[in-house]
Amino acid sequence: MLFLLRSLLHVLHFFYYLLTLIASWKSRPQPHELSYPRKQLPRHLALLLASDGDESTSGDVTLECFLESIQRTVGWCREVGIRKLTVYDREGFLSTNIEQVSQRLSVPAQLPQEDEISEIEYPLTPPPSDVSDSRPLSPVNLSSLDLDVSILEIPAAPPSKQESIGGVKHRRKTLLSSEKHNTDEITIHVVSRSSGKPVVARAAHVMANDQKRQQRRVAIQDLNAILEGDRGLPSPDFMIVYNTSPSSHRRKRPLELYGFPPWQITLTEFHYCNEYSPLSWPWAGLSSRKPEPLNEINFRRGLDEFSEAQMRFGK
């Protein structure tokens, strides 16, 4: 009987797989252009990059894919006017290669300038006795707690050379809104799993070891001030989750958050890039085995979804 039920289960999965294949062929409507006047835009966008199911690809290739995705996203954010961006990867490829991230973003893709310098704001260097799970702990106060958040300030792009040659006043008056957004500065928070639950544990450890604090009850505002403060990670209102691994484009994969800092996702709207197609199978000869960076269609689709979201805030 068990054998029969198990066989039936596999047959059921086979038919379900066929159904999902048929569903994948259903064409989705094209998203609106970037410049489309959407009802609402996120003020703070988070980009969660995963390489789930991609153990065979080297770290360098994955990092390059992540960097390309971020560079494109910064360009799109500039174009639509999003000035705050968080980029996350679970393993911390981006956090541990922050110089590469800042180098990659120091020259805007649309307005290459040889003499542009990006302002990079590195987190405060923690004292040697900083709290961590793997080393002996010593007393540290909350203000110098290592929150594992790197903050990059990408400056506003200067006006192009063509604009500065004659007719400047006239050109500036007729500047379109999308061109104006191209010059906004963008703040980028670079985080990983270690910026989430481990930081909450470290904050709790500091409180546990603070004699003066022990009598006072921990309040939501206390944790909020630490985790979402100036050196921390503010809550994104929209998150795009994208898996770069080629295998993720072959079959349906549910959304996961890969250890994103849990405190900050209270009201975050999620958009999951989950297009998949059997034509992505290697034997179909129609795709490469390399990771693929985020594309503009996915980004625009996410913005369309966010613009339709209804926020009720509990009411």
Partner 1 sequence: MADLLNSAYDLVLSTFRWGVIKVLAIGPVPQHIAFIMDGNRRYARQRSMAIKEGHTNGFQALEKVVDVCLKLGVKCVTVFAFSIENFKRSEEEVAALMELAETKLLDFTKATLHRDGVRVNVLGRMEMLPESVQKSFRISQEMTKDNFKHVLNFCMPYTSQDEITTAVQSAVQEKVCARVTEGDIERYLMTTLGGSPPLNILIRSGGAKRLSDFLMWQASENVQLHFIPTYWPDIGFWDLFPIIMDYQTKVWSRQEGKCGSKRWASVGFECVALIVIVTLFASLTRWRI
Using the minimum distance from each CB to partner 1, give the nearer residue, 171 or 205.
205
To partner 1, the closest distance from the beta carbon of 137 in angstroms equals 6
Residue type present at position 282: P
Residue type present at position 23: A
- Measure the CA–CA gap between 205 and 144, rounded to whole angstroms: 13
Using the minimum distance from each CB to partner 1, give the nearer residue, 185 or 308.
308
The residues that touch partner 1, with contacts defined as CB under 8 A, are 2-14, 16, 53, 133, 137, 193, 196-198, 200-205, 207-209, 214, 217-220, 222-224, 251-263, 265-271, 305, 309-310, 313-315
> What element of type H or E holds 59?
helix 59-80
Q: What is the CA radius of gyration of the chain?
A: 23
Using the minimum distance from each CB to partner 1, give the nearer residue, 172 or 197.
197
Using the minimum distance from each CB to partner 1, give the nearer residue, 130 or 305.
305
Using the minimum distance from each CB to partner 1, give the nearer residue, 111 or 137.
137
To partner 1, the closest distance from the beta carbon of 71 in angstroms equals 26
To partner 1, the closest distance from the beta carbon of 271 in angstroms equals 7
- For β-strands 269-272 and 119-121, DSSP reports them as unpaired
Q: Are 36 and 79 in contact (CB under 8 A)?
A: no
Using the minimum distance from each CB to partner 1, give the nearer residue, 180 or 216.
216
To partner 1, the closest distance from the beta carbon of 254 in angstroms equals 4
Q: Select from 241, 294, 268 the least CA-distant residue to 52.
A: 241
To partner 1, the closest distance from the beta carbon of 118 in angstroms equals 31
Q: Are 249 and 277 in contact (CB under 8 A)?
A: yes
Give 86-106 as a DSSP string: EEEETT-HHHHTHHHHHHHHS
Q: What are the structure tokens assigned to 216, written together?
A: 């006072």
- Measure the CA–CA gap between 33 and 248, rounded to whole angstroms: 26
To partner 1, the closest distance from the beta carbon of 221 in angstroms equals 9
Using the minimum distance from each CB to partner 1, give the nearer residue, 228 or 296.
228
To partner 1, the closest distance from the beta carbon of 205 in angstroms equals 4
To partner 1, the closest distance from the beta carbon of 282 in angstroms equals 16
Using the minimum distance from each CB to partner 1, give the nearer residue, 53 or 159.
53
Long-range pairs, 69-72, Cβ under 8 A, ≥24: 69/242, 69/244, 69/293, 69/294, 70/94, 70/101, 70/104, 70/105, 70/188, 71/104, 71/105, 71/109, 72/109, 72/293, 72/294, 72/295, 72/296, 72/299
- Cβ-Cβ contacts under 8 Å for 279 (sequence gap 6 or more): 286, 287
Give 147-174 as a DSSP string: ---EEEEEPPPPPPHHHHSS-HHHHHHT
